[in-house]
Amino acid sequence: MLYERHYSELVRLAFALTSDWALAEDLAQEAFARTWRGWANIRDQQQAPAYLRATVVNLARTSVRRMLRERRGWGEPGDPGAADLAVSIDLLRALSRLPARKRACVVLRFYLDLSEADTAAALGVSVGTVKSQTARALQRLRRLLADPGTVSVSRPEHDQGGA
């Protein structure tokens, strides 16, 4: 039942974070496998969806880091990956320019339509951090999308001003 209710949401979350549909499916499946293995450790089983989201965010972060290391080692420029037809390529590219935490805040809040509290739980941060990171991310996205020439596939910018 948990799988049926949340699998597609987790795949969409992972895709928004990685821009790779096959990887997104793998990450969602891995999140369920880890949840199943650790089911006895989940005190409040009503929190399982939040645990799954947090797991997907962490797995995506690790996967993106690994891909960046591999691409740097090969010296190849990044490519945007497969794009969902409903998602703008420019928006995906602009999102890829954000630091991981800011990108995760935007995706969780606006793509999955989670509350600030649920986003904070998924990321393991305070609601205030979600608010500030989201505001900064949206400000940066507005600038990037206002000047399409600046939206190119590149490494995310360094997080400035804290977490």
pLDDT tens, 8-58? 999 999 998 888 899 999 999 999 999 888 887 777 878 888 889 989 988
Cα separation, 47 vs 1, in Å, equals 14
Where do the H-state alpha helices sit in the chain?
2-18, 21-37, 48-74, 89-96, 100-106, 116-123, 127-146
For residue 161, name the pLDDT band (cuts at 50, 70, 90).
Answer: very low
What is the length of the chain? Answer: 163
Closest CA to 94 of 152, 21, 133: 152
- Report all structural domains of the chain as residue ranges with CATH numbers, in order of start: 2-150 (1.10.10.10)
Cα separation, 110 vs 114, in Å, equals 7
pLDDT at 162 over 50: no
For residue 163, name the pLDDT band (cuts at 50, 70, 90).
Answer: very low
Alpha-carbon distance values, 1 to 5, 24, 31, 128 (Å): 6, 20, 15, 33
Q: What is the pLDDT of residues 110-133, one digit of tens each?
A: 888 888 998 998 888 999 999 999
- Whether the CB-CB separation of 114 and 108 falls below 8 Å is answered with yes
- Could you identify the residue written with the tokens 């645990």? 51
- Whether the CB-CB separation of 127 and 117 falls below 8 Å is answered with yes
Cα separation, 46 vs 16, in Å, equals 25
Query: Which residues, at least 6 apart from 79, have a Cβ–Cβ distance to it below 8 Å?
Result: 153
Helical axes 21-37 vs 2-18, angle rounded to 10°: 130
